[in-house]
């Protein structure tokens, strides 16, 4: 998929109707519905009363577009198959101020637009994930597995760039002052009702918020809000980086509880980029 | 032809060898979802190779299939064929062993590297001797 394809997808996702927006805002504002109340009641809990987030969570790994087909005789069409008969509607995403979801890209201050374009134009050289480096937060997405204990939550990630983890204390301690900045930052968590809130700081500035040159500074502040609704994990993220962003960037994704366990990490070895003869865009779905 | 090379890895597991057969076909530009194949491989030139899968590099961001192709004088050339990431392969239910396919002869359709690197390509499709196949890109 090239850049124009990516943008078309972004714009497609922005075409949600007013009803979808209303539902989104109702969800964001915590407007209760009978169905939501039922789902919340059904959520399993640990002995400390908090919702049980333990488990492996399938967020689609960025390849929801892929619909492999098993064919007669043991053949398989992995990609390039005919599209499925009914594609799911585009996922609408919350917007900070408006009446319709926006294109899923951070809004940069005018003086930084040229930098975003320059980074995107030189994506093959500048995007660390193409060289098997950490995608950083929040680009790494929702956790693929959660290990929850009283006072601590561990997030595990099985990313195409490699395996990563975050150890998040939830016992009320403050951010550490004795650690270096990192791509995933320093995280502390706390519970607000049934929502796990993870606050992260101390980032390096060499990762992107998402594809296409979406840089950030080392002063970025990321707040993740995770809530279990039935067997769905909701992951809402707010990225604050006022030095370069016009407004906080908000994203929303979900993951489904799965009994398909993670496997040993797959090594990431970049053999590709050295053979690229031009700057043709390389998409990185997550 | 430019794609014949001196064998640098005589595959011990090579049970049956077939003659190198390179078929050049005019191929329309292909749009690949989520991959800039066109930046690295010549999507205007589809080649067909006959040989044996000798090994598979099960790695991200792309799996590589090593494909031994025997030339007319018996020299075996190891082609490195890029394909999809591990997550895509797993979603399709395919494994390393399935790709190796008992080291039986197979036919692959590929796009060669644009930068002239010999014996490097992107694998569009592999078809095994019994006729079953795995497709990784639009077959046009």
More confident residue, A259 or B7: A259
Domain B23-135 has CATH 2.40.128: no
Set of chain A residues whose Cβ sits within 8 Å of the Cβ of B58: 266
ipTM: 0.77
Per the CB < 8 A criterion, the answer to whether A254 and A224 are in contact is no
**Can you tell me the distance from the alpha carbon of A57 to that of A233, in angstroms, rounded to the nearest whole number?**
7
The tokens describing A259, both together, are: 């009994």
| Contact call for B60 and A272, based on CB within 8 A | no
Average pLDDT, chain A: 82
Beta strand pairing status for B45-57 and B64-70?
A: antiparallel
Confidence at residue B43, expressed as pLDDT on a 0 to 100 scale: 93
Q: What is the mean pLDDT of residues A257-262?
A: 94
More confident residue, A281 or A202: A202
Residue A151 CB partners (closer than 8 Å, separation 6+)? A169, A170, A171
| Contact call for A282 and B135, based on CB within 8 A | no
More confident residue, A10 or B69: B69
Q: Which of A28-32, A148-152, A259-263, B127-131 has the lowest mean pLDDT?
A: A28-32
More confident residue, B128 or B21: B128
| Contact call for B117 and A63, based on CB within 8 A | no
Q: Best mutation site among B60, B122, B139 for testing chain A: the one with the most A CBs within 10 Å?
A: B60
Confidence at residue A42, expressed as pLDDT on a 0 to 100 scale: 80
Angstrom CA distances, A207 to A131, A184, A213, A239, B53, stand at: 12, 9, 9, 13, 37
Q: What is the mean pLDDT of residues B69-78?
A: 93
**Is pLDDT of A285 > 70?**
no
| Contact call for A76 and B94, based on CB within 8 A | yes
pLDDT cut 70: percent of chain A above it: 77
The tokens describing A62, both together, are: 């960025």
**Is pLDDT of B3 > 70?**
no
The tokens describing A6, both together, are: 């990516």
Interface list for chain A against chain B, based on CB atoms closer than 8 Å: 1-2, 5, 61-63, 65-66, 68, 70, 73-81, 124, 130, 132, 160-162, 266-272, 275-285
Confidence at residue A81, expressed as pLDDT on a 0 to 100 scale: 75
**Can you tell me the distance from the alpha carbon of A1 to that of B37, in angstroms, rounded to the nearest whole number?**
9
Search chain A and give the residue with CA nearest B91. A68
B9-22 per-position pLDDT tens digit = 333 334 334 444 44
Set of chain A residues whose Cβ sits within 8 Å of the Cβ of B31: 1-2, 5
Smallest Cα–Cα separation from B4: which of B105, B82, B56, B74?
A: B74
More confident residue, B15 or A71: A71
Confidence at residue A82, expressed as pLDDT on a 0 to 100 scale: 66
Confidence at residue B35, expressed as pLDDT on a 0 to 100 scale: 52
CATH for the A44-62+107-275 domain, from 3.90.1150.10, 3.20.20.150, 3.40.190.10, 2.40.128.20? 2.40.128.20
Set of chain A residues whose Cβ sits within 8 Å of the Cβ of B86: 160, 266
For residue A64, what pLDDT band results from cuts at 50, 70 and 90?
confident
For residue A85, what pLDDT band results from cuts at 50, 70 and 90?
low
For residue A270, what pLDDT band results from cuts at 50, 70 and 90?
confident
Distance from CA of A106 to the nearest CA of B (A): 21
Domain ranges of chain B: 23-135
Q: What is the mean pLDDT of residues A46-54?
A: 96
**Is pLDDT of A262 > 80?**
yes
| Contact call for B94 and A78, based on CB within 8 A | yes
More confident residue, A81 or B66: B66
């Amino acid at each position: 998929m090239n850049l124009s394809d990516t943008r078309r997808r972004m714009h497609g996702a922005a075409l949600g109707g007013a009803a979808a927006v209303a539902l989104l805002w109702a969800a964001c504002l915590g407007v209760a519905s009978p169905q939501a109340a039922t789902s919340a009641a059904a959520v399993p809990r640990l002995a400390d009363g908090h919702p049980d987030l333990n488990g492996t969570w399938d967020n689609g790994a960025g390849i929801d577009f892929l619909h492999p087909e098993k064919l007669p005789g043991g053949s398989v069409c992995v990609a390039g198959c005919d599209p499925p008969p009914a594609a799911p509607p585009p996922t609408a995403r919350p917007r900070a101020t408006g009446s319709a979801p926006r294109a899923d890209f951070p809004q940069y201050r005018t003086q930084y637009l040229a930098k975003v374009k320059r980074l995107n134009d030189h994506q093959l050289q500048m995007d660390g994930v193409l060289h098997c480096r950490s995608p950083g937060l929040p680009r790494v997405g929702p956790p693929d597995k959660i290990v929850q204990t009283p006072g601590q939550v561990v997030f595990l990630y099985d990313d195409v760039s490699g395996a990563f983890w975050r150890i998040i204390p939830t016992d009320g301690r403050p951010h550490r002052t004795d650690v270096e900045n990192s791509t995933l930052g320093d995280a502390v968590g706390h519970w607000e009702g049934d929502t796990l809130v993870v606050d992260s700081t101390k980032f390096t500035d060499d990762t992107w918020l998402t594809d296409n040159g979406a840089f950030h500074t080392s002063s970025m502040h990321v707040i993740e809000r995770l809530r279990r609704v039935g067997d769905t994990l909701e992951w809402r993220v707010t990225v604050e980086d006022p030095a370069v962003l016009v407004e906080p960037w908000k994203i929303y994704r979900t993951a489904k509880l799965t009994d398909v366990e993670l496997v040993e990490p797959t090594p990431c070895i970049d053999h590709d980029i050295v053979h690229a003869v031009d700057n043709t865009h390389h998409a990185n779905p997550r | 032809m430019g794609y014949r090379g001196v064998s640098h890895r005589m595959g011990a597991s090579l049970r049956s060898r077939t003659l190198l057969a390179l078929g050049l076909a005019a191929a329309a530009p292909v749009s690949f979802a989520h991959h800039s194949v066109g930046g690295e491989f010549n999507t205007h030139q589809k080649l067909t190779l006959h040989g044996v899968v000798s090994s598979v590099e099960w790695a991200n961001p792309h799996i590589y299939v090593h494909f031994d192709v025997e030339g007319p004088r018996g020299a075996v050339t190891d082609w490195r064929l890029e394909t999809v990431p591990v997550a895509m392969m797993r979603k399709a239910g395919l494994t390393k062993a399935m790709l190796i396919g008992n080291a039986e002869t197979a036919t692959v359709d590929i796009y060669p590297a644009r930068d002239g690197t010999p014996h490097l390509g992107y694998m569009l499709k592999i078809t095994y001797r019994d006729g079953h196949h795995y497709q990784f890109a639009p077959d046009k």
